[in-house]
Amino acid sequence: MLFALEKVERHAVMNTLGRLLPMTWAEVHAHSGLNWEQIHSLSGPSGQTLYSLRANQKIRLVGWREGNVLRLLSIHPDHDSAYSR
């Protein structure tokens, strides 16, 4: 999915992922620009609680927490598509 994005969109995703690396979970949750939020309407492949975060105004990333790791499930170029199958 990452390589299907336009170059500018890929850079936005990569910049967001790079920004996440040094952050604690408390910082991720509190960062208003990331807009970390639980997706109540969906669950992960094994029933995990899914969360979305903003890569830019248009793109959302969806994944789940596994200890100190964010498991990225999908990238949504259309913001609204992150909340439905």
pLDDT at 4: 82
Contacting residues for 42 by C-beta, under 8 A, at least 6 apart: 50, 62, 83, 84, 85
Q: What is the pTM of this model?
A: 0.86
Number of domains, the chain? 1
Checking if the pLDDT of 24 tops 90, the result is yes
Q: What is the mean predicted confidence (pLDDT) over 9-14? A: 93
DSSP string across 53-83: EESSSS-EEEEEEETTEEEEEEEESSGGGGG
pLDDT at 83 over 80: no
Distance CA 15, CA 55 (A): 8
- pLDDT tens-digit profile of 29-77? 999 999 999 999 999 999 999 999 999 989 999 999 999 999 999 999 8
CATH of the domain at 65: 3.30.2310
Q: Domain span at residue 45?
A: 2-83
